[in-house]
Amino acid sequence: MNPPSPAGFFGNLLAVVLYLALLYLPNFRQGLIRDFRLFRKWRFWRALHHWLVALIVLRAAFSVEGWLERVLTLSLLTIAFHFLWRLHKRYVALFLSAFFLAINTILILLIWESSLETELIPQPRAKEALIGGLLVTGLAIGLGIDHARNLHRRLSDRSRQLLAYLFASIAFGSIAILLSSDLLWNESSYTALIALFCLVLIGIGISAKIKVYRMVALVGFALPLFRLFVFDIRDTLIRIVAFALLSIFITFVGYLYPRFQSRIE
């Protein structure tokens, strides 16, 4: 496969900008849709433009050689389609927002095995993997908070909770997979880092009054517990550190729940 030319990449980028402009402009000029009589007759014109943007940006993202650049491109598109969902209330925008985030998660999953490296799927360096993984995790957490806290007339409460569960699970899975990859694997700190991330999710769930995040964190805490009693217990030093951190974690969680009981649903 020949590497893409810079002109081809910028051409795709320009096409994405133009199509996004067509999607966003009606929000700034309400009468704009009436100017397009052909589009006014076809009610699916916005959905069509959403899919065109999705196809173009996928081509643009995978024409970039760097792994981190692909993650950044797809993350920006995730945010763009999420805002379009908030503006247009079109389910296709919500679907595409989750779709691009899922592709980012797959890119993180593919670095778990270095033998999968090809020209189409490059392997990042450790620093790039860490930045990209944290970006995807933070993005998933932010989208989950937005869906859980902000009411939407086209989504029921149950649907919003399911979306929050989905994005919180993506965030936890991204961190768990990222830290277990060959690039960032550290046996002595993996259990502690996963437990720390669960603590962060619990803190977010309490401060933002989102029960979903607390539930995902408590369920996800089974992973460090499993590693603690199956793998880490074999090494004396790791066992001492792991049990010490576990006791601190449980004590801190036990402090948080009574302290912020008014924020817990």
pLDDT in tens, 59-110: 777 777 788 888 988 898 899 888 888 877 778 888 989 999 999 998 888 8
Do both 78 and 176 map to the same domain?
yes
> What digits encode the pLDDT tens for the residues 187-216?
667 877 888 898 888 888 888 888 889 889
Q: How many CA atoms lie within 13 A of 23 on its CB side?
A: 29
Q: Domain ends where: 134, 158, 185?
A: 185
What pLDDT was estimated at residue 8?
58
User: Span 7-33, mean pLDDT?
Assistant: 59
Shared-domain flag, residues 193 and 206:
yes
Q: Which residue has the higher pLDDT, 40 or 24?
A: 24
Based on the structure, what is the number of domains in the chain?
2
1 versus 199: which is more confidently predicted? 199
Last residue within a domain, chosen from 185, 209, 240: 185
> What is the pLDDT, as a whole number, of residue 152?
75
| Residue 167: per-residue pLDDT | 93
Both 36 and 153 in a single domain? yes
* Residue type, position 166, single letter: L
Q: What integer is the mean pLDDT of 240-248?
A: 73
Q: Are residues 49 and 121 in the same domain?
A: yes
Q: Do 235 and 152 belong together in one domain?
A: no
For residue 218, give its domain range. 189-265
How many percent of the chain have pLDDT more than 70?
A: 68
Quick one: 30 and 61 in the same domain?
Answer: yes
Who has greater pLDDT, 139 or 46?
A: 139
37: pLDDT confidence band, cut at 50, 70 and 90? Answer: very low
Q: Are residues 174 and 254 in the same domain?
A: no
The domain boundary residue, chosen from 185, 213, 236: 185
Mean pLDDT of the chain: 76
**pLDDT reported for residue 229:** 75
Check if the beta carbon of residue 59 is closer than 8 Å to that of residue 12: yes
Looking at residue 21, its pLDDT comes to: 67
Let me know whether 15 and 135 are in one domain. Answer: yes
152 and 58, same domain (yes or no) = yes
- Which residue bears the tokens 């899919």? 51
Question: 235 and 163 in one domain?
Answer: no
Taking the C-alpha atoms of residue 193 and residue 159, their distance in angstroms, rounded to an integer, is 31
pTM of the model: 0.76
Do residue 84 and residue 10 come from a single domain?
yes
Whether residues 164 and 203 share a domain: the answer is no
